[in-house]
Amino acid sequence: MSDHTVGNAGDSGDQRETRETRRDRSERADRGDHAERLRRDLARCSAELRSLNEVFNQRVVDPGMPGSNIERLQRQIERLTQRQSRLVTELLIAASSPSTSSRSSSSSSVRNREDALLAPSEPTAPEEPSESTVLRFTDSGDGASSSATVAVRHRSRPMRETVLDTLAELEVVAAPRAVSDIAEALYGEAIPVERFASLRRDEERAYINNPLRRPVWIVPAINCVGLAAIPRLVALSSWPAEERLVGSRTMRTAHLRTLLRLLNFRGRAAGESHDLRSARFDHLILQYARSVPDAFDWGGTPYREPDGEPDWERVAAAVEVELAQIEPADRVEREAAAHRLGKLSDRYQFWGAPVVAEGGQIERRNTP
């Protein structure tokens, strides 16, 4: 219903016009703020890419540098480039989007934005989500922190966007509980874990209705054995197949990679002199690092509490040691499964192959 026809009974025409003018002005101010935030984020993203490329150049010419380190850095650069593309597209849309009243559903404005993203005439139509502007860290490469960043959240940000952003930060498959905990630490937004089941069903239903409707989907992880979905783990459809597959070592490597990301987040938050922000990550890091050998010196009690102040660099080093032992074999298993997955239809590549029971019957799934 258009806001131009909505009004309280008994309102005069002047009162309605005043309300509409105030609303339009507010929307214009919002759009201006939004564009400004996008430019700031783009500047930070560009600076981060520049420093990553410098590190990449140094590593490439270092004969002692393992290829796996270079490959990991390459993937980070690719993801950052994709994020930069998304920000540019959002900036273009923000600059060109028509006035819409605040009463229009947020879903329709998102749809408008997504339709704009998918329009064939758009030269920069990306395949990435229109992520809301949120906390972004910069890394100048030498450990020095950037100027302070503050979590910027849209009013009542949809759960889907928070999940998208959190997974984009984590870069590994994750359980809903982990996504919820980390989103709360990153953005101060708690996601109810019980809503993930309906989110998963809605995503698949929307994909089946129109696969091109969204550039990125929240999809289940896929197991390497039968290429079926693992509903209790989530991933992003924009990730390469091997990053969405789960082998016998993957949950462990994902746990360790998540821990490294948490240490990274903490380090940057601490650099902003916001003790409260870095403390949000301490509890999570302790929880994740409990199972990492040599991450801490444990006290004498059976409750496994670290003895003394944690040494975060020691934790990171211990994680890298374990990753070096298990990640190569994990990658081999996932890449082999990715090769098999690539032979399936797009739908099964994202949502998992159907489970075939003995006798050839296909198990019916809950989604249409």
Partner 1 sequence: MTTKSTAISARLARLRGTLSAEEPGARGLERMARNPGCQRLRALTIAGITPATAVTAIYQEPDREGQSPFAIGLGNRYEAFLYGAGAASLLQLYRDAGRLLLAQAKVVNMLDLAPGSSPYALQRRELLTRRYLAQKLNGDPNAPNLIIQARLTVSLLGVEHPIAPDVLVAADTDPFYRPAEVKSYPDRNGKTDPSDIRGACRQAAVAVVALRQLASKLGVAQPDQVVPPLADLVLRVTGSFTPTLRPMTLQREVSSLLASLNQAPKNLAELEMLLAGVGGALDDQATLDAVPNRYQPNCREFCALAPHCKAQAVQDTDPVLLGVPAREALASAGSLSRALDLLNGTGAPPRTLEERALQERMREADAERAKAVR
Q: How near is the Cβ of 186 to partner 1 at its closest, in Å?
A: 18
Token pair belonging to 184: 């709360």
- Which H or E run contains 266? helix 250-271
Q: x-or-dash pattern for partner 1, window 97-136, by CB under 8 A? A: ----------------------------------------
Identify which of residues 135 and 256 has a Cβ nearer to partner 1 in the complex.
256
Q: Please tell me the distance from the alpha carbon of residue 296 to that of residue 275, in angstroms, as a whole number.
A: 22
- What is the rounded radius of gyration, in angstroms, for the C-alpha atoms of the chain? 23
Q: Which is nearer to partner 1, 135 or 319 (CB)?
A: 319
Provide φ and ψ at 362, rounded to 5°. -95, 130
Please pick, from the candidates 134, 185, 233, 316, the single residue that binds partner 1 as defined by CB under 8 A. 233
Site string for partner 1, 282-321 (x = CB under 8 A): ------x-xx-x--------xxx----------------x
Residue 61 found at the interface with partner 1 (CB under 8 A)? no
CA distance 186 to 208: 32
Closer Cβ to partner 1, 325 or 367, answer by number: 325
From the list 52-60, 142-150, 277-285, 358-366, the region that binds partner 1 by CB under 8 A is 358-366
- Span from 2-10, 114-122, 158-166, 249-257 in contact with partner 1 (CB under 8 A): 249-257
Query: CB of residue 137 vs partner 1: minimum separation in angstroms?
Result: 24
Q: Which of 28, 39, 75, 177 binds partner 1 (CB under 8 A)?
A: 177
Which residue in 110, 125, 193, 251 binds partner 1 (CB under 8 A)? 251
Question: HSE (CB half, 13 Å, CA atoms) of 94?
Answer: 23
Contact with partner 1 (CB under 8 A): which of 21, 58, 325, 367? 325
**Closest separation in Å from C-beta 218 to partner 1:** 18
Nearer to partner 1, 168 or 233 (CB): 233
DSSP per position, 19-68: HHHHHHHHHHHHHHHHHHHHHHHHHHHHHHHHHHHHHHHHHHT-TTS-HH
| 324-336 burial: b if 16+ Cβ within 10 Å, else e | eeebeebbebbee
DSSP-derived secondary structure for 226-259: T--EEEEEEEETTS-HHHHEE-TTHHHHHHHHHH
Of the candidates 250, 244, 248, 249, the one whose C-alpha atom is nearest the C-alpha of residue 342 is 244
Helix (H) or strand (E) holding 131: none
C-beta of 151 vs 329, nearer to partner 1: 329
Looking at residue 105, the DSSP 8-state letter turns out to be: -
Q: Single out the segment in contact with partner 1 by CB under 8 A; choices: 55-63, 79-87, 136-144, 175-183.
A: 175-183
Identify the CA nearest to 158 among candidates 108, 116, 117, 122. Answer: 108
Cβ 207 to partner 1, closest distance in Å?
A: 20
Scan residues 333-352 and list those touching partner 1 (CB under 8 A).
Answer: 333
Instruction: Give yes or no for residue 252 binding partner 1 (CB under 8 A).
Output: yes
Considering the rule CB under 8 A, would residue 194 count as an interface residue with partner 1? Answer: no
Residues 6+ apart with CB under 8 A from 297: 306, 307, 308
Q: Hey, which residues does 174 pair with through a beta bridge?
A: 234
Binding site for partner 1 (CB under 8 A): 175, 177-178, 223, 225-226, 228, 230-233, 246, 248-252, 254-255, 288, 290-291, 293, 302-304, 321-322, 325-326, 333, 355, 357-358, 361, 363
